[in-house]
Amino acid sequence: MKGAMRIVIADDEPLARERLRTLLAEQHGVEVVAEAADGQHALHACAEHQPDLVLLDIAMPGIDGLEAARHLAAFEPRPAVVFCTAYDAHALSAFEAEAIDYLVKPVRAERLSAALERVRTFAAGRERGGEVAPGQRRTHLCARLRGSLRLIPIEDVHYLHAEEKYVIVHHARGEDLIEESLKSLEDEFCERFVRIHRNCLVARHEIVELKRCPDGHVQAVLRHGKQPLEVSRRCVSALRETLKHL
């Protein structure tokens, strides 16, 4: 890690942020580059400042710390995460989210110092993985936009279409590109989306009907789709069965 360690503090409690600022002021080689009061603003701050470390509260309004950490796992460069929380019951979930350390409030100076040292060691040698912990479904998808980002509520997504190394998210406010695989999205959101083609997942509630074209191909008519989507032959029977139970 070259130069000072760049840090973002994310906590919905002003006093907790102030305490971390005070403790960090006593540490050498660190710089607080931004603060945030919730997960969404923390993600925006990280996209803008590209910190080395995020000190992240877990219980925050909107996007909580655990979900924010899963989004941060896809950032490049990926910041290290150290959770700071009043509850030790989240420890297992925190480490499943690949946190470097887990600090229980009120954070003690010596524990913070030890966590910073772990981050330095991590940055010096360990490779960083980016997989979402099994069984932890996000409430939003994260699209990178020229150095910033857009958070797309899962409930607003109509369908997902794979194109080369990107997935196009068609949602209530338009379209965005995300750098995730269709297979990983299918695994994570299997209860919400159904596969209609090798390159397409559709929100179950979006499918109005299936219709057969004169050439024999089957198409899915969507509630909010501008045009029907092609259904591959291998998906037709399973899709018909799914529609019976909607």
Helix/strand/coil percent split, the chain, to 5 = 35, 35, 35
Evaluate if pTM is beyond 0.75: no
Alpha helices in the chain (DSSP H): 14-25, 39-49, 65-72, 91-96, 109-125, 182-188, 233-244
Tokens 């369908």 -> residue: 159
Q: How many domains does the chain have?
A: 2
Residues spanned by the domain of 205: 140-244
Give the pLDDT band of residue 94 (cuts 50, 70, 90): low
d(CA 195, CA 130): 24
- For residues 70 and 119, membership in a common domain is answered with yes
Mean pLDDT of 217-242: 93
> Are the C-beta atoms of 201 and 166 separated by less than 8 Å?
no
Is 131 part of any domain?
A: no
Query: Residue 123's pLDDT is what?
Result: 81
- For residues 167 and 117, membership in a common domain is answered with no
d(CA 216, CA 210): 12
- For residues 30 and 100, membership in a common domain is answered with yes
- For residues 24 and 101, membership in a common domain is answered with yes
Confidence check: pLDDT of 126 > 60:
no
Q: What is the CATH number of the domain that holds 48?
A: 3.40.50.2300
- For residues 115 and 45, membership in a common domain is answered with yes
Mean pLDDT of 53-57: 97
Mean pLDDT of 206-212: 94
Q: Which helix (H) or strand (E) holds 74?
A: none
d(CA 195, CA 183): 10
Which residues contact residue 120 at a Cβ distance below 8 angstroms, ignoring those fewer than 6 apart?
Answer: 1, 5
